[in-house]
Chain A
Amino acid sequence: MKKNELLQKLAGIQTLESVMDILKVDKKMAIYYLCRIRKEGYVKTRRQSNNRRVYNISLDNKLGGKSYYDIINHCSPIKIATPVVHRIYGKGPSLEETLIYAIKTKSLRTILASLALFKKISNWVELYNLAKENHIERQAGALYDLARQIMRVRRMTNRFRRSALSKREYKFEYVVPGLKSRDFEDIEKIWKIYLPFNKNDLEEYK
């Protein structure tokens, strides 16, 4: 069987039994095929609590690099499937970059999962600079205040808050277009930013 065909059939999370099932081969041949693609770097193996091996088979394993979604999934209790491929090589993206990327996606689920990053963010200067570059400093500030209400987070510097806070001439903006909050209107007024979450949406953080 050719490698491409193997990868197409086996892409995803597999166990030895599922590989035998998909390829319609016996245990010996299934192990042989897994070894073949593992040698080329397509397989990552982990063990379940009952000590059974689970194989993650993907081209991404071969390509290496890191994606923003890997970082979000590592830090957050809310896990997200990768909707787009954006891999970074030669440098590890910082948590600050990851948060800004998440806000820029304007995806409800991605932003929700990325709130957990506030627990670990410590370089407020970098966060402010990146947010300013992308014109989303108020969004970042509002999401910080929101995160602070539901989990323990590191303290935002006064400098960030002072610089990012809404001025009189600013107009209301959305984090996710069209979505407003019923439960966090106080934060919305401070930052002049409509937040996309209500209290119920944040239950997974409790």
Chain B
Amino acid sequence: MITIDQQQKLLSNVARRLTRKITVYAIGGTAMMFLGFKDATLDIDLVFENGKDRAVFKEAVKSLGYLEMDAITVYGAKRNTPEMFKLNDERFDLFVVEVIDFIFSDDMRKRSEQIHQFEENLILKIANPHDIILMKCATERVKDKDDARQIINNYTINWDIIINEAINQIKLGRAKAIWYLAGFIIDLKKIGGKIPLDVLPKLYQLLEKQ
């Protein structure tokens, strides 16, 4: 597990080794730590705007001694899995725009308001809590459901933002976005997530229309 302090040192180290300025978006546990939902995380999930930025970041991470690992061991045989790098207990999951079955859309980028700059070259934007939930829905590992529940139970969620983004994902070609979201919300309800009563019926209606 990486704590906030360790994560900051690590990102500063990576930033020092970057050859140019890049902007990345933190989703998952890293974003949750910056937003105060969590004290430690297993992995650092980052989304890049393009492959070139990821290549620059990869070089920096490799120079720190991180070794590439196979995404199948964590994500199974899903599409758009990240490139993964591991050193001891710390792991980087590096996505480019697409996060499994979802796209890190322009609207999501606009909603990422918090900026954390490390040294000169690494600009880390923190995904909005609503979008973190959607990304958790995309990756759908066991711990992701716990994380999503944590956000839902500790933050005032505007469910319209989440539903509208799911609709937006369909427009972007992710036809199953609402289907996945509905399934995820049912699972969240089972583990004690506080979901308003009207959310699932709205999603079912959208599914029927689709």
Contact = CB atoms under 8 A, between A and B. Distances in A.
Contacts of B59: none
Closest 8 CB pairs of A and B: A85-B114, A59-B36, A90-B119, A90-B12, A86-B115, A88-B117, A89-B118, A87-B116
- Which of A3, A84, A85, A90 counts the most chain B CB atoms within 10 A? A90
B115 A85 contact: yes
Given A4-B37, A7-B36, A63 B4 contact: yes
B116 A8 contact: no
Nearest to B16: A90
Contacts of B15: 90
Nearest to A3: B39
Interface string B102-124: 00000000000111111110000
- Which of B15, B16, B35, B115 counts the most chain A CB atoms within 10 A? B115
Contacts of B120: 91
8 contacts: A4-B36, A7-B36, A65-B8, A84-B113, A85-B115, A85-B126, A86-B115, A90-B16
B153 to A, nearest CB: 10
Nearest to B15: A90
A189 interface: no
A8 B153 CA distance: 12
Contacts, number: 48
Given A7-B36, A63-B34, A87 B4 contact: no
A77 interface: no
Interface string B39-52: 10000000000000
B115 A89 contact: no
A65 B115 CA distance: 12
Q: B-side binding surface: helix, strand, loop or mixed?
A: mixed
A12 interface: no
Interface of B: 4, 8, 11-12, 15-16, 34-37, 39, 113-120, 126, 154
- Which of B4, B11, B36, B37 counts the most chain A CB atoms within 10 A? B36
Interface in A51-103: 59, 62-65, 84-91
Nearest to B34: A63
A85 B113 contact: yes
Contacts of A84: 113-115
A40 to B, nearest CB: 8
Nearest to A66: B117
Nearest to B35: A59
A8 B113 CA distance: 20
Given A4-B37, A62-B4, A89-B11, 4 more contacts: A85-B126, A86-B114, A88-B118, A89-B119
Given A8-B154, A62-B4, A86 B36 contact: no
Nearest to B113: A84
B119 A87 contact: no
A8 B150 CA distance: 14
A85 B125 CA distance: 10
A184 to B, nearest CB: 32
A62 B5 CA distance: 9
- Which of A62, A86, A89 counts the most chain B CB atoms within 10 A? A89
Contacts of B154: 4, 8
Interface in A139-191: none
